[in-house]
Structure 1
Amino acid sequence: MPSKKPVTVFGPDFPFAYDDWLGHPAGLGVLPRERLGSEVAIVGAGMAGLTAAHELMKLGLKPVVYEASRLGGRLRSQAFEGGQGVVAELGGMRFPRSGTAFFHYVDQLGLATAPFPNPLTPAAGCTVIDLEGRTHRARRLADLPPLFAEVARAWTDALEEGAGFTGLQDALRERDVPRLKALWDALVPRWDDRTFYDFVAQSSAFQQLSFHHREVFGQVGFGTGGWDSDFPNSMLEILRVVLTGCDEDQHLVVGGVQQVPQGLWLRAPAARELRHWGAGTSLAQLHGGAPRPGVAAIARAPHGQIAVTDVLGTTRRYPAVLVTCQSWLLTTQIAVEESLLSHKLWMALDRTRYMQSSKTFVMVDRPFWNDLRADGWPVMGMTLTDRLTRGTYLFDNGPDKPGVICLSYAWMSDALKMLPHPTARRVQLALSALKQIYPDVDIASHVIGDPISVSWEADPYFLGAFKGALPGHYRYNHRMVGHFMQEALPEAERGLFLAGDDVSFTPAWVEGAVQTALNAVAGMVRHLGGACHADNPGPCEAWPGIGPVALGD
């Protein structure tokens, strides 16, 4: 009998219940009295950095946050000028409910969410699939030609054949750690060295079908849309995504997701949550309203401390430092003393492969796509296509507010096609492509205000959208994720911690940023002589027994 319990990002590599740990009344740990009020450095004010800073503040430390750009990192919600609070989500925009640690903070901040308008979901209303010059409208899979159902079935069958998916996901739903570990750990060496495309092409389910079926799967996919930009990635990474439900039941944060990290910056925890600081204390209050400037250098200082020098030349020393920026910045923008990390860890950080991503948004006068055609279908729908735009999403903020169209959401080579072009040209290219799909719809006549676009690979503080692990990268992941366990490290390598979705086993998903931040919190507490409460053991206590399987070098 299949489990009825919800799917959560419970491992599978390290099946630790972060949501339970966060919700326990004992709190996340206790520090020695002499450490209370001590400063620790947090490099980066994205979701990972502010999650860690918020929790460390509650435990009695004084986090000193450094930020080179803006609060929120890749949770970036940019408001349209004159748009009554209407935003374009330039970074993360759809968040699976399976990410329970992230939603712990969403709920704590009292933020509203709504279903994301993914293809073939009720939130999308109408989905338009345009391939090879043919356009199909659908509200559900059954509305599409049989080819699409064949592709969907083949994908389900391939997962069952190659990974025993139902049994694996039941173990995850039940949080049956021994069974989940046994099943998952056996899959790691089988699938780490193989690409996603290899998994699909070699499955008997797809081999019984045509190449065109694989092509349609790559162009359209199911859940969040096309998969072909991920075809070179390790199948292990893709399996994690579908196993943990990251590609389904996704929500947006009403008013913009940047409210989550900004909310953690401003939030003053209740007095019962604070060990050392007085009521009304927030990260913003501890910083006088703004974080410190970006970091230029990190080096070992005397007496086991670590020196952090900002871009204005000010150096401060800390007993512990958490780095949450993307790993390439540690060799291209920040002068990090090489001996602070092992050569093997440097290899892992340097081999991180970032995927490109481009988005182009316009604000429109109203959600005109809800107007009906003569045949009863809406004039536009969420659109998946093999044309330049790839994915087009429609955001209805209500009849009394402007709407937003993400004209184009593209990855990898499709994103690079946009890289040289200014925003206005990107809009022109997208509208030209969409005109082939909607010849009778004058989208441009509804556009108001200035358009907004982003290419994350061109941002000097990111150099890419997020990590996409290649075959053979499991060992690198293992080194990065496990670095918070520092007791066995040489003394020269202790005290510098890492967090962020690119450090995690689930890159591109904010849950990975939150979970690695919480690992770092536990590691820093232990490094400073503290510990978790016996009634609420944390990641440091759980890692030796249920940590990721080691493949060996």
Structure 2
Amino acid sequence: MQKPVTIFGPDFPFAYDDWLAHPAGLGVLPAERLGTEVAIVGAGMAGLTAAYELMKLGVKPVVYEASRLGGRLRSQPFEGGQGVVAELGGMRFPASSRAFWHYVDLLGLRSQPFPNPLTPAAGCTVVDLAGQTHWARSLDDLPPLFREVAEAWGQALEGGAGFSGLQQALRERDVPRLKALWDQLVPLWDDRTFYDFVAQSPAFAVLSFRHREVFGQVGFGTGGWDSDFPNSMLEILRVVLTGCDEDQHLIEGGVQQVPEGLWQHAPAQMAHWPAGTTLARLHGGAPRAGVEALKRAPSGHIAVTDTWGVTREHAAVLVTCQSWLLTTQIDCEESLFSQPLWMALDRTRYMQSSKTFVMVDRPFWKDLRPDGPQQGWPQMGMTLTDRLTRGTYFFDNGPDRPAAICLSYAWMSDALKMLPHSTEKRVELALSALQKIYPDVDIRSHIIGDPISVSWEADPHFLGAFKGALPGHYRYNHRMYGHFMQDALPAAERGIFLAGDDISWTPAWVEGAVQTALNAVWGVVHHLGGACHAANPGPGEAYPQIGPLALPE
């Protein structure tokens, strides 16, 4: 039986899932360090993963949060909606995210397949491009052009990246083979865009511009990817190589339950703290306020000042907020990071994203059409279009129960078109676009309650949805990702750590937040004089041997 695809590297192929599952635990601290306060800036998935694991090791995490628990795992309930939520941030989670699913399983949460295009969970998919509408349950239901695009993409990956051999090495967790193949690709593709890869590949070169246009609008796996065309091809290779774009699931009741669950969960085993201790209890029920300043104190510790002007010194600090906030929201002493690292943090490029949701009285879209060309098909299906809505998704909570529709999920320029508008105006624009695709469906008559929308770039605590690495950004990512290895740093730069999906090699995917949080846990333990068990070495032990390829500066 073929082994599954997991997010195992490829830049740093360390088995985080095995590290987490090992009965020896993640490490041990010296007795005199038990109870040491370590600051965690940000209560998203990265911050709460690190806080939870550090608490288990006997550290006292002090979590600072400027907004709400969960970060970009934000499940906003509809008023009176009987548990119906709008997933404003992350909403689909690939099975390959093994470290993330470790925590989902720990908390006993349930999941179900996400209704992506051309999947059984979607019921049916409607592709509306250039004024033509196609109904499909599988790729075979679409015109030949779509299959030609899909086949060309597969051929481009195989010819340009040796994809099947690379992915087999990843499946087998054959570290030497995976590193050898991936490290050959890094200098070849870091300086080239996703669009360049597609346009210059022999598989697409023999096809028309229309094929590339359709590829950008409809894409592969999760939908259209033209918003990523300017990104580094390395970033796209990682996504498809590690299965991020397939076999995705949603968390029933909302993914925000994962970080909230870690906040409330009492580990079965932990050092120092009495049984029943949780992060919530250590904090008296709520995290501290947001952070205003980070400075090096005369004691050598790091002084953290919150929004109320209260300053506390900590032996170490883990920063999980988006990196731009270190220059726009937090007065961060410049000497805490090297100038090359500041360059990397400042050059991080965030992508825009907007979503607009409505709650409806029931999953009416499942009603079968009584007549016409689509007789026997559902009233509506997961919709991909070149209109304003771009992607429309339907979320069923059971017959005759309120349900949710993500009327529009858009990125970059399509998201910016929504930025100046109120939620009500966004709904009107989306309904107008969908009316052209479904002229015989009265969506308005089913809407109940108040709509919900988000533009992450307009939120001062985020300034964007997620990182999208541009060509030439590999070196920047390497600097940020490897910062948890601090033995070679000057004393003035030690004790402050970075985590979050924008620090990872897989931005926009929660697994990157979890894995970098675990790197930071190792870094904090090492900084405090602790160590991993010999039977369960951590990422810091593996990094010198299998760390990311270093490109010349």
After TM superposition, is the score higher than 0.5? yes
Which secondary structure does the structure 2 equivalent of 1:304 belong to?
coil
1-side partners of 2:337 and 2:27: how far apart?
26
User: For residues 127-166 of structure 1, what are the alpha-carbon distances to aligned partners after superposition, in whole Å with 9 as ceiling and x for unaligned?
Assistant: 0000011100000000111000000000000000000000
Equivalent position to 1:258, from 256, 259, 262: 256
Residue number in structure 2 paired with 1:358: 354
Is 1:447 equivalent to 2:447 in the alignment? yes
Residue number in structure 2 paired with 1:460: 460
Residue number in structure 2 paired with 1:43: 41
Residue number in structure 2 paired with 1:23: 21
Equivalent position to 1:370, from 366, 369, 372: 366
Is 1:64 equivalent to 2:62 in the alignment? yes
User: For residues 52-71 of structure 1, what are the alpha-carbon distances to aligned partners after superposition, in whole Å with 9 as ceiling and x for unaligned?
Assistant: 00000000000000000000
Residue number in structure 2 paired with 1:426: 426
Equivalent position to 2:121, from 120, 123, 126: 123
Which AA in structure 2 matches 1:147?
Answer: L
- Bigger shift: residues 394-403 or 83-92: 394-403
Equivalent position to 1:316, from 296, 312, 317: 312
User: For residues 365-399 of structure 1, what are the alpha-carbon distances to aligned partners after superposition, in whole Å with 9 as ceiling and x for unaligned?
Assistant: 00001011121111100000000100000011111
Is 1:177 equivalent to 2:175 in the alignment? yes
C-alpha displacement of 1:401: 1.7
C-alpha displacement of 1:400: 3.6
Matches within 5 A, 1:39-438: 39-270=37-268, 273-373=269-369, 374=371, 375-438=375-438
Contact 2:319 2:498 in 1 (8 A): yes
2-side partners of 1:158 and 1:177: how far apart?
24
1-side partners of 2:202 and 2:552: how far apart?
31
2-side partners of 1:125 and 1:155: how far apart?
25
TM-score, normalisation: structure 2: 0.99
1-side partners of 2:535 and 2:510: how far apart?
28
Where do 5+ consecutive residues of structure 1 fail to align? none
2-side partners of 1:324 and 1:522: how far apart?
15
Q: May I ask how many residue pairs the two structures share in their alignment?
A: 549
C-alpha displacement of 1:222: 1.5
2-side partners of 1:155 and 1:70: how far apart?
40
Residue number in structure 1 paired with 2:538: 538
C-alpha displacement of 1:218: 0.1
User: For residues 428-460 of structure 1, what are the alpha-carbon distances to aligned partners after superposition, in whole Å with 9 as ceiling and x for unaligned?
Assistant: 000000000000000000000000000000000
Contact 2:361 2:400 in 1 (8 A): no
1-side partners of 2:279 and 2:181: how far apart?
42
2-side partners of 1:338 and 1:113: how far apart?
43
TM-score, normalisation: structure 1: 0.99
Which secondary structure does the structure 1 equivalent of 2:96 belong to?
coil
Is 1:548 equivalent to 2:548 in the alignment? yes
Which AA in structure 1 matches 2:51?
Answer: A
C-alpha displacement of 1:308: 0.2
Q: Kindly report structure 1 stretches of 4+ aligned residues shifted beyond 6 Å.
A: none
Aligned CA-pair RMSD: 0.5
Which secondary structure does the structure 2 equivalent of 1:72 belong to?
coil
Contact 2:388 2:430 in 1 (8 A): yes
Contact 2:363 2:400 in 1 (8 A): no
